[in-house]
Amino acid sequence: MERLRCSHTPLRFKSGFAEALLLRALLFLLYAFIFDRTLEVPIESFRK
């Protein structure tokens, strides 16, 4: 029972790490899109 739990932990950690990395990438893309939109408006207004 103890050995099974020990061998199962690294797999769960690895999948959790990949999940967190994917989530972080999605958040980064979302923030980049939002900041791109918010920066676009002031630049356009300054040009006028």
Torsion of CA 25, 27, 30, 32, to 10 degrees: -70
Give the pLDDT confidence of 1-48 residue by residue, as tens digits.
555 555 556 666 677 888 889 999 999 988 888 877 777 666 666 666
Residue-level pLDDT at 23? 92
Residue-level pLDDT at 42? 62
Regarding pTM above 0.85, the answer is no
Taking the C-alpha atoms of residue 3 and residue 14, their distance in angstroms, rounded to an integer, is 18
Residue-level pLDDT at 3? 57
Taking the C-alpha atoms of residue 2 and residue 9, their distance in angstroms, rounded to an integer, is 11
Q: How many CB atoms lie within 10 A of CB 48?
A: 4
